[in-house]
């Protein structure tokens, strides 16, 4: 992925929010050689409740 590429996330209000690649990379952690994101960070990116994100993960293991 190119460093100057912007990712666009669309929230429920149909607003477009531009996130820089570096902003998203800073939310990714490496733990035991696996890349992970916190549930709260995923919820923030998608403008969704953390509780709902966790429910979706449990339903789609």
pLDDT in tens, 28-45: 999 999 999 999 999 999
> Who's near 49: CB < 8 A, 6+ residues apart?
43
Contact (CB, 8 A) for 53 and 43 = yes
> Which residues in 25-48 are b (16+ Cβ under 10 Å) and which e?
eeeeeeeeeeeeeeeebbbebeee
Contact (CB, 8 A) for 32 and 16 = no
Q: Is the pTM of this model over 0.85?
A: no
pLDDT in tens, 14-31: 466 778 899 999 999 999
Boundaries of every domain in the chain: 6-59
Residue 1's pLDDT is 47
């Amino acid at each position: 992925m190119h460093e100057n590429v912007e990712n666009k996330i669309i929230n429920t209000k149909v607003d477009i929010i531009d996130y820089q690649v570096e902003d998203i990379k800073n939310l990714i952690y490496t733990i035991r050689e696996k890349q992970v994101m916190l549930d709260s960070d995923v919820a923030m990116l998608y403008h969704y409740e953390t509780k709902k994100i966790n429910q979706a993960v449990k339903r789609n293991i």
